[in-house]
Structure 1
Amino acid sequence: MLIVMAGLPAAGKSSIAEELARKLPAAVVSVDPVEAAMRRAGVDRGQPTGLAAYFVAEAVADGVLAVGQSVIIDAVNAVEAARQQWRALASRHQVPVAVIEVMCSDAQVHRRRLERRTRSIVGFEEPTWEAVQQRRTEYEPWTDHRLVLDSVGDLASNVTKAREYLALRSRPAARG
């Protein structure tokens, strides 16, 4: 199965993705560390590293799916082009795709999380709250069937909801 996480930076995607990966099990392919690695390798910040990181993540996920393992994509996935990339990957491997969109309904909590987070990804600069607000204006509405989780809720409850959703999506009738 291909599980696609989506949502603004610091909404709570990575926390849910990591806990899901432990429970399922599944590999997590996160775009931010890929982008940071590209920068550490000398790719200039002026280059389209964000787009390239999605392509690298796709190549890694392709390899994981090729050996019959599930993979979780941890990325903002704000635009239709990125979303189509994951649908096409799932189609190539003939596996179900499940989308989990994570949001934080409390702007103060969201901002506090962003400003306090320390992921220690060498070469990755965390976005400012202003940058997250700009991303919000660029975030295209989803048209796919998806589970929407509010990260104001506790992590355990959100992971339980996600696992229930994934169990339904993994059935053959739910593919696509």
Structure 2
Amino acid sequence: MLIVFSGLPGTGKTTIASALARQTGAMYLRIDTIEQAIRNADGLVGDLGCCGYSIANELALSNLRLDNTVIADCVNPVAESREAWRITATNAAVELVNIEVSCSDTTEHQRRVETRSSDIAGLSPPTWQAVLNHDYQAWDSPPLQIDTARLMPAQAVAMILRHINPKP
């Protein structure tokens, strides 16, 4: 199974995705980590385009083919990145679960963005203005929705587990 977390920075994707990975033992791929490693290795600065996503998709595919569940933690803002994850799941012949994380409380979302620090060496978190300016396209078909203004991380993980492991 390929589980892809999507949503703007500061919504709580990493908190929920990493908790789900710990609880399930799934392989965890975080685009921010991959992109910062590329910047650190090559001395690159700024936007890397689809480079981090391309690497993550290939890592996901190789692990899915080993029958590992993979969790991808990314903004996944455009149709092209979403399609790439779909192709990865199709190529591995596994189920794709898209999860969109949002925070409907704008004040809380802004507070999170403005007060967080990075846990990735060398990565500066985006500003609130950068989050507001982020190109984030609407989905063609709605993914599983998680609103972190209404759910605590543990509740979100429980909701996802019920979704991916429905009881008969």
Structure (1/2) with the larger helix percentage: 1
1:50, distance to aligned residue in structure 2 (A): 3.8
**Contact residue 35 and residue 124 of structure 1 kept, 8 A:** no
Match of 1:148 among 145, 149, 156: 145
**How high is the TM-score relative to the length of structure 1?**
0.89
Give the % identical residues: 37
Matched, 1:14 2:34: no
Q: Is the 8 A contact 1:20 1:159 kept in 2?
A: yes
Q: Give yes or no for the alignment of 1:4 onto 2:4.
A: yes
Distance 2:165 2:49 in 1: 31
Task: Please identify runs of 4+ aligned residues in structure 1 that moved more than 6 A.
Answer: none
Gaps of 5+ in 1: 172-176
Aligned residues: 166
| Superposed displacement of residue 113, structure 1 | 0.9
In the TM superposition, what is the alpha-carbon distance from 1:42 to its structure 2 partner? 1.8
Q: Residues 4-153 of structure 1 correspond to what in structure 2 (within 5 A)?
A: 4-45=4-45, 48-135=47-134, 138-152=135-149, 153=151
Deviation, structure 1 residue 114? 1.1
Shift of 1:145: 4.2
Q: What is the TM-score with the length of structure 2 in the denominator?
A: 0.93
Over the residues paired in the alignment, what is the CA RMSD in angstroms? 1.5
Q: Deviations over 1:69-115 (max 9, x none)?
A: 00011000110000000000000010000011000011111111111
